[in-house]
Structure formats: C-alpha cells, structure tokens
Chain A
C-alpha cells in the first residue's frame, strides 16, 4: 500500500514539469482576451490560452517581478526598457513571426524593442490614442478643444481620469509646459502642482473603463480621459459623445507582446503571436475597439468609410504627425511615486 502511494507520489512529482508545459498563459489588459483576436490559435489549440488580467502595466510589472510567470504579457512600449532592465524578457525571433514584414516600419523600428540579430523584445500589436471623451450635450459647443477641460472647475465632481502613469501625469506635464519624458526635479514639482489642482475636481482615478463609460452614459460624468475604445462603445450606444482632438495633441501609444524569460511554451507563444498578427485579427481590433492594428494588411481589410468614422488614419505615421507619442519616461518610478502622493492628498 505504502509502496503504491510512494509510486503515485513519485509519478505526480515527475509529471509536474510536463504539466507546466500546459496551456499558454497570457497576461493582458481586460478586453484584450477576446477569442476573436486569435481564432486560428484556438482552432489549432482548442484548449485556448489561459488569461490573467492586470489593471495597468505598472501593476503587471510588479506582479511579474514578484514571481508570477505567464508565457506572454502585453505591456506598452514605454515600459519595455523597464521590463528589460529587470531581466524579465527573452528576445523574440522575428524570422518566426510570419507577418513581421506587414508591421508598419515606424513600429518595427522603435528603439527600445531592438534586441539585435533579427530579434525584438516586443512584437507591436495595437496602437491607439488617449484623449478627452466628453458629452457634447453637456459641454458648451464653443468649449476650447483642450486637455484643460479635465481641469475646468465648471465641471467639478463630474470629471474622471485614468489611473496610469503614462496617461494622467503625462498630460499634466504637457499642460504644465514641461517635457513628460525627461523631467528635472523642478519640472516634477510643476507637474505635481498641476495634478494637485485637478484632484478636487475628480470623482475618481481609475482604469476601469466600463464604469467610466457607464458614468458618461448616465450623465454623471461630463468628461473623462479615455482610450479610443470607450468612444467607439458609447457612440454605438447612441450616447452623444465626442473623442476630443485637443490642441496640445492626443497621446498615441503602442503596446504588444513580450515573451517572459523562463516561458516553457515558446512554440505555443509564437503560434499565438502569429495568430494575432493575421489580418482578420487586426481587422476585428479596428472595428470592435477603434484601435489601430500594427499591420498594414489588417488596415487593407477595413473599408475606408469605417476608418474615417473612427478617425483612424491607415498608418500610424500619419497619426503621429499631430499627436504625442508615449515613449519611455526617464523618471517613471519617481513620477509614479509622486502621482500616488498627489492622489492621496499630498
């Protein structure tokens, strides 16, 4: 009896490494898990990927640093250097990415993703904008098209903003007239001052876009900082909203897949990335969320009328002529600490 037990135990123990080769684990933003984004992967691997969510990619970073080991994660470009410096990533071989050539050159050539030797640290998948989404019926028709709407005391208690370092503090820096991506301590104080000015006007700092959308729809909020997807969702519901084109420029970001260092499922990971870079997947991203896909082939599938309606140029280069690209922030950690202090009333 004991012998059987020991044998069973030994079998379990030796079987564990095999079990670890189980389904692909994918750590991402909520809303990025839809099966429609990777139909061909699910067709080939019916068990599908196992999904975990993060609130934003700074939270994701600390969770991975603390020992959570997904195979793939989905941070944004401005965080790649930080993830890399912590030794969390393994290079992705572009020769194994079927549609690598279809990715827009501006995204292919981002400096922080280069790992040399035909390899990259991140495969760009999506790009989009951050801006002010406001109720056209609750805001004066001649209201200035500016980020300062989120600082307007007239709307006190009816504003909300995104609780992520690469969004709200970046905008505060732009309004304070300092370079968001490289700040002196004096600049940092100016940004803090700007953020302090905004805090009493806000109902909440959040990354929960569903509740922001609901509050805009009900009229509780007049304006909020959001991403394209919220504008698309509310317009589909017939809520009178407009995604502002602020005179200071929207923020444009890009995010993508990184492979974690000790991933035992690299083959599955490549299959997954390849599936997501198919034109059909990118088309769904554009049409469902209004975000840009990273491949020109996906844009080719979408009718021009749809793109016009989404105000999405068929090339990120076009977009970047008028927007501010959220690249790496040199003082990310200091900025994050300062933002937390201001949120708490300091």
Chain B
C-alpha cells in the first residue's frame, strides 16, 4: 500500500516538475525555431508566415561566395576566441582547484565579477583600453615604447578576439575548474609515489581527466561567439564583420527577414556540425572510462 502510493506520488511529482520544462521547450524554443525555419523558406513579400514557399534564400546563400567568406571569417574569429579563452582559463581553473586553498571563494568571486556589469559596458571598457587615445596607447607612450599613439589596436579582428575572450572567460573557467576538482587526489599521490614528475602527472593524469571540462568550456564559448554581432559592430571595424552582423542587417536595414532567417538556419547547421565534431573529440579524448 505504502509502496503503491509513493510510486503514484512519484509520477505526479515528475509530471508537475516537467511541465515548466516542456512548456518552455515547446512554447519558447521549438516554436520559435519552427518559425525561423518556416520564415527561411519564405519569399520577401511583406507577409510573414503565410504565403508561397521557396528555396531561393538558400540557393542565394550557397551560390554566393561572400557568405562562405563571412562564415569562414566567423569560424576563424570564434575559433581564436575559444582557443584564447581556454588557454587563459586553464591556469586559473588549475589554480582554483589545486592551489587557491582558503582563497578559493575570493578568486571565484573575482572570476564572476565582470558579470556584475552589462556586457555592453565591458565592450565599451575595451574600447577605452584599446582606443587611439586610450589606456594602452597612453601607457605604451609614457613608457617610451611608442612615440605616437597607434590606431592599430582597435577596429580589427584582434580587438574582437580580445574583447570576446575576456567576456566569455568565466564560461571556460568554471567547467574546467569543476572537472579538475573532481579528479581524485589519490591518483595524483599514486603517480607521484610511482615516480612520475610533475610534468608527467599533468600530461598523463590531470590534463586527460580534465578534458571533458575543457571541451564543455570550448563549446560554451564557441557557439555564442560564432553568432555574436555586438562586439564586431563596436570594436571590429569593417574587416571583422561576422555572420551575426549580416543576420542582424537583414532583419534591420536590409529589410529581408526571410533571407536573414535562412542565414540564421545556415549558421545553425554550421554550429551543429561543429558540435558533432566536438562530441566526436569528446568520445576520443574526453571520456573518463
């Protein structure tokens, strides 16, 4: 009797608990996605979802080398951002997991501190740092390294990479930190006892065991930066216009929503391919088995 009741309770509880999730998934995510998908096959005739369907948006995208160039540029920039973020995040996560001791709380707090300000403010902060009369130029001039300010720091892809890498750092630090923290300390002791050097312990034990965190962090950084448009628009200059800027322009100035939707769908396909690649990598190197 008691058992049956609790089983019933469990089912009811599970149902109630999953209602918000199901509603959000279907109502917000899948419905919106379906709308974008439908729009991508529409002609730009002013109507939104009702009207004749066409493949011309996609043939336009795939037959035009410009969009391939912009996509490659976006992949290149997002890839560099991911690399820069992971490489700089790893030592911080490592310090947090193994060295921070009683400072861990404080360091974690500092890592998340940038999130207390708006993303836009952080982009503008970088603009102030990198500008012609900005912080970096003034510092280099007062150190005598340059005798006149350089305008080469801002309005190029490198500025986009630096700004995005800073903005997304916590997204890489936290998963790597968690992965490192769950490595049993006994393994490290055992390998030391068996005569492994610190470099060997890192290369053979710590790094492989933290790979799931690294790959998760890389994915979380790569996917949103690929579609970012605010950062290239503000610090990128004409040379770093990314696919997100093109999508935004189609929904804005160019006033061709179906084409913008088709670009968005194509971008999603590229991201899907990237995710599959990373999953493949995860199977190969990330597994803890």
Residues of chain B within 8 A (CB-CB) of A336 are: 253-255
Cα distance, A173 to B258, chains bound together (Å): 28
**Which of B70, B132, B239, B255 touches A333 (beta carbons < 8 Å)?**
B255
Q: Is A306 an interface residue (CB 8 A)?
A: no
Query: Are A343 and B238 closer than 8 Å at their CB atoms?
Result: yes
Q: Is B82 an interface residue (CB 8 A)?
A: no
Query: Are A204 and B70 closer than 8 Å at their CB atoms?
Result: no
Query: Are A215 and B245 closer than 8 Å at their CB atoms?
Result: no
Cα distance, A59 to B233, chains bound together (Å): 15
Cα distance, A207 to B256, chains bound together (Å): 21
Q: Is A86 an interface residue (CB 8 A)?
A: yes
Residues of chain B within 8 A (CB-CB) of A204 are: 155, 237-238
- By size class, the interface of chain A is 20 to 34
Residues of chain B within 8 A (CB-CB) of A346 are: 64, 66, 69
Cα distance, A217 to B64, chains bound together (Å): 40
B132-144 CB contact bits vs A (8 Å, 1 = yes)?
A: 1100000000000
Query: Are B155 and A203 closer than 8 Å at their CB atoms?
Result: yes
- By size class, the interface of chain B is 20 to 34
| Nearest A-chain residue to B73, judged by Cβ | A345
Cβ distance A57 to chain B, nearest Cβ, rounded Å: 10
Query: Are B254 and A215 closer than 8 Å at their CB atoms?
Result: no
Query: Are B66 and A337 closer than 8 Å at their CB atoms?
Result: no
Name the interface residues of A56-87: CB closer than 8 Å to any CB of B. Answer: 56, 58-59, 61-62, 86
Residues of chain A within 8 A (CB-CB) of B105 are: none
Residues of chain A within 8 A (CB-CB) of B250 are: 340
Cα distance, A220 to B70, chains bound together (Å): 28
B contact set with A: CB distance below 8 Å: 46, 64, 66, 69-70, 73, 127, 131-133, 149, 151, 154-155, 237-239, 241, 245-246, 249-256
Query: Are A218 and B155 closer than 8 Å at their CB atoms?
Result: no
- Chain B binding surface, main DSSP class: loop
Query: Are B132 and A345 closer than 8 Å at their CB atoms?
Result: no
A134-168 CB contact bits vs B (8 Å, 1 = yes)?
A: 00000000000000000000000110000001000
> Can you list 22 residue pairs at the A/B interface with Cβ under 8 Å?
A58-B252, A59-B253, A157-B151, A199-B238, A202-B237, A202-B238, A203-B155, A203-B237, A204-B237, A215-B131, A220-B132, A220-B151, A336-B253, A340-B250, A340-B254, A343-B238, A343-B249, A344-B70, A345-B69, A345-B239, A346-B66, A346-B69
Query: Are A220 and B237 closer than 8 Å at their CB atoms?
Result: no
Cα distance, A336 to B149, chains bound together (Å): 35
Cα distance, A202 to B70, chains bound together (Å): 19
Residues of chain B within 8 A (CB-CB) of A203 are: 151, 154-155, 237
Residues of chain A within 8 A (CB-CB) of B133 are: 214, 218, 220
Q: Given A203-B237, A343-B241, A345-B241: A220 and B253 within 8 A (CB)?
A: no
Cα distance, A200 to B249, chains bound together (Å): 20
Q: Is A341 an interface residue (CB 8 A)?
A: yes
| Nearest A-chain residue to B134, judged by Cβ | A218
Cα distance, A158 to B254, chains bound together (Å): 27
**Which of B238, B239, B246, B255 touches A62 (beta carbons < 8 Å)?**
B255
Residues of chain A within 8 A (CB-CB) of B131 are: 215, 218, 220
Query: Are B70 and A58 closer than 8 Å at their CB atoms?
Result: no
Q: Is A177 an interface residue (CB 8 A)?
A: no
Residues of chain A within 8 A (CB-CB) of B69 are: 345-346
Q: Is A111 an interface residue (CB 8 A)?
A: no
Cα distance, A47 to B241, chains bound together (Å): 41
Query: Are B253 and A58 closer than 8 Å at their CB atoms?
Result: yes
Q: Given A219-B132, A220-B151, A345-B69: A340 and B238 within 8 A (CB)?
A: no
Q: Is A205 an interface residue (CB 8 A)?
A: yes
Q: Given A218-B132, A220-B131, A220-B151: A344 and B241 within 8 A (CB)?
A: yes
| Nearest A-chain residue to B152, judged by Cβ | A157
Residues of chain A within 8 A (CB-CB) of B132 are: 215, 218-220
Cβ distance B9 to chain A, nearest Cβ, rounded Å: 25
Query: Are B151 and A158 closer than 8 Å at their CB atoms?
Result: yes
Cα distance, A158 to B150, chains bound together (Å): 11
Closest 10 pairs between A and B when the two form their complex, measured CB to CB: A220-B132, A346-B66, A218-B133, A58-B253, A340-B249, A344-B241, A337-B254, A203-B155, A59-B252, A336-B254
**Which of B127, B155, B237, B246 touches A340 (beta carbons < 8 Å)?**
B246
Cβ distance A312 to chain B, nearest Cβ, rounded Å: 30
Cα distance, A333 to B255, chains bound together (Å): 7
Cα distance, A341 to B238, chains bound together (Å): 11
